């Protein structure tokens, strides 16, 4: 059998992939079901919120100290971020890619790259580790420090639960949509011309991805990636919302790049961490720049739904883009 959209993947979610319910219908039941799926207690979104709240309670800097930038409190954030990402991404890599557990849930059965000069140290995992723990954690820490400095100096508007409970809760629904909307647009721009050649191509060396691949990118892209937290300079929010947005990158990227559809748990439960939509992007490049909760891909006809028809449409799009590039 030839290599087709239905045979090249070992496992896929239900196909065709569809945009989020609130872009397809006004039916409140379908929208509620979408929110229940994306906010499953055994899913990445709820997990990132729990981690964000834990950081706020136990590992956030003293706002009095954050009134001015200083190595002490910023270094504590840096160490905390390195440990957090090392534990989560490291555990997922160990279980799924070293122990080779749950291989029946793996999208692409091909191994990661070794002895390839395009990677630092000629090894995909070592390349990804270095870019994540050195560049991503340093730049992410600097952006986080800007946020704490802004809260400490009353530049960023801070609210509490008591100020407006409804808005406080709604923000937890708004932050993920903002995060994916920002990512979609900036990601699409990173695919344009020399920016892709010199910057974003670093990330696309990873055709088959693992947990350490999520933040393996050019340092300039790390600057762009974490810059979405600038929203909190104008959006009335609590620091836990700010941390929740940060976690969409620091933890969301490793968890969405595991290359597996889910993490099987005892008792027949599944922790939903796969992102087949983005896995398609790594394979075919000029499609799926955002996610189901962003309207960008449908708006620019870049939606790959995982089917043979979606693959043909993506191939035609790539031919058009190549022709336009040659014509310039």
Cα 138 to Cα 306: distance, rounded to the nearest angstrom: 35
Strands (E), the chain: 263-264, 270-271
For residue 2, pLDDT over 70 is answered with no
Burial of 175 (0-12, 13-18, 19+ CB in 10 A): buried
**Looking at residue 115, what is its pLDDT?**
77
* CB distance 19 to 295 below 8 Å: yes
Residues 229-279: pLDDT tens digits?
999 999 999 999 999 999 999 999 999 999 999 999 999 999 999 899 999
Average pLDDT, the chain: 95
**Looking at residue 191, what is its pLDDT?**
97
Assign 272 to helix, strand or coil: strand
Strands (E), 267-315: 270-271
**Looking at residue 4, what is its pLDDT?**
56
Residue 3: band (very low, low, confident or very high) from pLDDT cuts 50, 70, 90: low
- From first CA to last CA, the distance across the chain in angstroms is 39
For residue 7, pLDDT over 80 is answered with no
Give the H or E element holding residue 265: none
Q: Output the six-digit token pair for 68.
A: 């001015």
Nearest CA to 159 among 145, 172, 177, 146? 172
Q: Is the dihedral of CA 117, 123, 127, 128 positive or negative?
A: positive
Residue 130: band (very low, low, confident or very high) from pLDDT cuts 50, 70, 90: very high
Distances (CA, A) of 18 to 34, 35, 87, 177, 288: 11, 14, 33, 16, 12
Residue 1: band (very low, low, confident or very high) from pLDDT cuts 50, 70, 90: very low
Span 139-159, average pLDDT: 98
For residue 6, pLDDT over 60 is answered with no
User: What string of H, E and C letters represents the secondary structure of 251-264?
Assistant: CHHHHHCCCECCEE
Q: Alpha helix (H) ranges present in 14-70?
A: 21-24, 28-38, 44-58
**Looking at residue 144, what is its pLDDT?**
98
> Phi/psi at 3 (nearest 5 deg)?
-80, 105
Which residues are within 8 A (CB) of 312 and not within 5 positions of it... i.e. 6 or more apart? Answer: none
Q: How far is CA 298 from the centre of its chain?
A: 19
Span 139-165, average pLDDT: 98
Residue 116: band (very low, low, confident or very high) from pLDDT cuts 50, 70, 90: confident
Span 60-81, average pLDDT: 98
**Looking at residue 86, what is its pLDDT?**
98
* CB distance 119 to 126 below 8 Å: yes
**Looking at residue 5, what is its pLDDT?**
59
- Which pTM value belongs to this model? 0.95
Using the structure block, give the residue that is written with the tokens 């979610």: 13
Nearest CA to 209 among 107, 102, 294? 107
Cα 254 to Cα 259: distance, rounded to the nearest angstrom: 10
Neighbouring-strand partners of residue 270: 264
Nearest CA to 242 among 156, 315, 319, 118? 156
Cα 155 to Cα 167: distance, rounded to the nearest angstrom: 20
Q: Output the six-digit token pair for 275.
A: 């992102």
**Looking at residue 328, what is its pLDDT?**
74
Using the structure block, give the residue that is written with the tokens 């696309």: 204
Residues 267-313: pLDDT tens digits?
999 999 989 999 999 999 999 999 999 999 999 999 999 999 999 99
Q: Output the six-digit token pair for 241.
A: 């919302």
């Amino acid at each position: 059998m030839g290599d087709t959209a239905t045979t090249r993947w070992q496992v896929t979610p239900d196909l065709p992939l569809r945009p989020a319910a609130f872009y397809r219908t006004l039916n409140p039941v379908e929208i509620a079901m979408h929110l229940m799926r994306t906010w499953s207690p055994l899913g990445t979104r709820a997990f990132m919120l729990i981690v964000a709240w834990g950081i706020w309670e136990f590992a956030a800097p003293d706002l009095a100290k954050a009134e001015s930038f200083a190595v002490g409190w910023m270094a504590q954030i840096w160490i905390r971020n390195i440990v957090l990402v090392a534990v989560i991404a490291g555990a997922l890599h160990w279980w799924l890619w070293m122990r080779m557990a749950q291989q029946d849930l793996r999208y692409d059965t091909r191994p990661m790259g070794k002895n390839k000069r395009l990677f630092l140290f000629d090894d995909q995992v070592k390349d990804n580790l270095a870019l994540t723990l050195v560049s991503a954690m340093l730049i992410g820490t600097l952006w986080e420090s800007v946020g704490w400095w802004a809260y400490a100096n009353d530049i960023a508007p801070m609210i509490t639960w008591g100020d407006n409970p409804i808005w406080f809760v709604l923000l937890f629904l708004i932050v993920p949509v903002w995060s994916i909307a920002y990512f979609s647009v900036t990601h699409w721009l990173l695919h344009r011309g020399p920016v892709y050649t010199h910057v974003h191509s670093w990330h696309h060396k990873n055709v088959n991805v693992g947990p350490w691949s999520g933040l393996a990118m050019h340092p300039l892209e790390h600057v762009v990636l974490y810059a979405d937290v600038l929203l909190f300079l104008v959006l009335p929010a609590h620091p836990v919302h700010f941390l929740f947005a940060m976690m969409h990158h620091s933890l969301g990227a490793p968890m969405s790049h595991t290359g597996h559809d889910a993490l099987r748990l005892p008792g027949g439960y599944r922790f939903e961490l796969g992102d087949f939509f983005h896995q398609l992007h790594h394979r075919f490049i000029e499609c799926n720049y955002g996610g189901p909760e962003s309207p960008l891909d449908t708006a620019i006809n870049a939606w790959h739904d995982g089917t043979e028809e979606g693959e043909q449409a993506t191939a035609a799009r790539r031919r058009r883009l190549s022709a336009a590039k040659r014509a310039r």
